[in-house]
A and B are shown apart, each in its own frame.
Chain A
Amino acid sequence: MTLGLMAGLLFTPLAWAVLTLLVDFRKGRVVTWLGMAVQMLVSLGLWAVVASDGGFLYLLGGWQAPLGIELRVDGLAVTFVLLTAVVAAACGWHASIYLDPDKAWHRYFWPLFWFLWAGLNAVWLGGDLFNLYVGLELISLAAVGLVALGGQADALRAAIRYLMAALLGSLAYLLGVALIYGQFGTLSLAGVTALLNSAEVPAGLSFALVLMLLGLALKTALFPMHGWLPPAHGIAKSPVSALLSALVVKASFYIAARLWLDLGGHLGSYALAQLIGALGGIAVIWGSWLAFRQVKLKQVVAYSSVAQIGYLFLLFPLTWGVSDAISLQAQQGITLQVISHALAKAAMFLSAGNLIMSVGSNRVDALAGVSRFLPFSLFSFGLAGVSLMGLPPTGGFAAKWLLLQASLASGQWWWLGVLLAGGLLSAAYVFRVYQASFIDDTDIDHFFHPSRSLEVIPMILALLSLGLGLMAEPVLSVMSLPFEAGRGQ
């Protein structure tokens, strides 16, 4: 049972990537629908298995660790696998209607989409540092290809800038991995942690951790290394932007978080934790402010991603040198923030795509009057915005509430300012879009009407993000399930 599920999970995206490479857009779309259904069922099944029996280690092809690939299937990993399935399926479905099938190069969307999915699953499940690197690179290359799918010079410029940032980030990470391997002779994250616990830490090894975190922060677009993100996410097709903002940046953050939680206790320091937290805090405020100032609708959403990513980095100060209970609270808060941001931001980009399609312009002030013609998409946009602001009962609220408690309990009250200011500023940029769309004195009366399913998809995602606050308890209980080594052979 488990074996079949794992095989399905890992095999489907790669197989479908190759299959869709062979056919044109319309056939690729049908093939992809099938694949998305399979992937969705398999992810749900795996989630259910882990929720009832606990996590396990999975050796790919039965090969032992240094030679084979060891996958760590724990509660957190399956939660993200399921999240990926939901968000990617929604984006894929949206893209199958949204993208123009008559443009020949759009057929390459499907293979890139599936390679991206394969890379994401590899990162969530990866248990050793080098395979994580390969997964990261697979994600980056597929994501860059998706950004370049726009075809014009602007899209290519954004794609090249993104590629350069991503490549530099990966190399910094790989250099850190080389240093760790040179010291310990193992690549398994668990193995390195065990060696760190048993022996005393050699001086200078913190440099390896700093290098890896630096590379990953560049790929996650932490302030001040966020310059590549808004052009890339802003210019890509809307379903692509949704995938990139919701999932791709989370992959590098996920690795950084796991490195920090496993190695940070020995190799990190209070100053490093506070520095990363401070950069995250500045990202929240600066990103929200820039989002408020943008002229183009999708740039607003893209800068909002910079801000929301900033919250994630509060994990670093809130888990360093605090009691286990506070650390767990912070981890749960961050996990909820990852999930709710993924759902809300995907909803926001998809509905922004509908709005842009409808008015035929990507400027915020062009939205005047759209509230009468496209209330459904605008409502999804707003619901997602409510989650980003962190109002109850959304997932964003639950996440920020946990973070608030963790920062108070650990005596780091200064993060409260970030949480409050971030919420207020996100309200400002969401309401600015609303204000523009409710202006009624417009002469324009030729709005294009997107098809009904294009409008339903962001609504589903926004409702999920809204409901996450109510379902937080079961989600969190699976996420923190104990890890049971040795099963699933």
Chain B
Amino acid sequence: MTPSLLYAFAGVALCSIGLFGFVRIRHLLRKLMAFNLIGSGVFLLMVGLAQRGGQPDPVPQALVLTGIVVAIAATALAVVLIRRYYHLSGQTTLAEPRAKRAKPPAPTANREGSPE
């Protein structure tokens, strides 16, 4: 049991907690945080697993750096979408609004941005 393996196990634990949250939580922002938790878990695992004879391996560290950039981009996009969605629908979950929308909308309401 080396310290780096401890990081890997911590990564697995983070992944599991994050996955649980991602599946169970309906609130979109909290879901997004759960996603970030899984991401951190994966990064820890990546750095923790890849040890070559006690020396840290530089490649996974570079990968994790790229991974963090990707995760930030994804999180930023998600936050923008969730915010806009909240402004438009007043909802914080993905649940379909019932009753109001169940009836077929007016014929013109669904035109796909067609030129008039």
List 26 contacting pairs A-B, 8 Å CB cutoff, sorted by A.
A66-B59, A100-B113, A106-B113, A130-B63, A133-B70, A134-B66, A137-B74, A141-B74, A150-B113, A153-B88, A153-B89, A159-B81, A160-B85, A163-B78, A164-B22, A167-B74, A174-B67, A179-B49, A182-B8, A182-B46, A185-B52, A185-B57, A356-B114, A357-B111, A360-B108, A360-B114
Pick the contact of A153: B57, B60, B85, B111 (CB < 8 A).
Answer: B85
Q: Is A156 an interface residue (CB 8 A)?
A: yes
Bound CA–CA A54/B56 (angstroms): 40
Q: Which residues of the other chain, A, contact B88 by a CB distance below 8 angstroms?
A: 152-153, 156
Number of A-B contacts (CB under 8 A): 120
Given contacts A130-B66, A179-B49, A353-B112, contact A171 B42 (CB under 8 A): yes
Kindly supply a per-residue 1/0 record for chain B positions 31-59, scoring 1 wherever the CB is within 8 Å of any chain A CB and 0 otherwise: 10001001100100110011010000101
Within 8 A of B (CB), among A130-167: 130, 133-134, 137, 140-141, 144-145, 148, 150, 152-153, 156-157, 159-161, 163-164, 167
Bound CA–CA A130/B60 (angstroms): 10
Q: Is A26 an interface residue (CB 8 A)?
A: no
Pick the contact of A168: B22, B81, B82, B108 (CB < 8 A).
Answer: B22
Q: Is A272 an interface residue (CB 8 A)?
A: no
Pick the contact of B50: A106, A140, A182 (CB < 8 A).
Answer: A182
Is the pair B42, A160 in contact by a Cβ cutoff of 8 Å?
no
Q: Which residues of the other chain, B, contact A389 by a CB distance below 8 angstroms?
A: none
Is the pair A167, B35 in contact by a Cβ cutoff of 8 Å?
yes
Binding site for A on B (CB under 8 A): 8, 15, 22, 28, 31, 35, 38-39, 42, 45-46, 49-50, 52, 57, 59-60, 63, 66-67, 70, 73-74, 77-78, 81-82, 84-85, 88-89, 91, 94, 96, 104, 107-108, 110-115
Interface size on A, residues (CB 8 A): 47
Is the pair A366, B112 in contact by a Cβ cutoff of 8 Å?
no
Residue of B nearest to A173 (CB): B42
Q: Is A237 an interface residue (CB 8 A)?
A: yes
Additional 13 contacts, C-beta under 8 A, given A157-B96, A163-B77: A103-B113, A148-B84, A150-B113, A153-B85, A156-B84, A160-B28, A164-B31, A167-B78, A168-B38, A175-B45, A179-B49, A181-B46, A185-B50
Q: Is A362 an interface residue (CB 8 A)?
A: yes
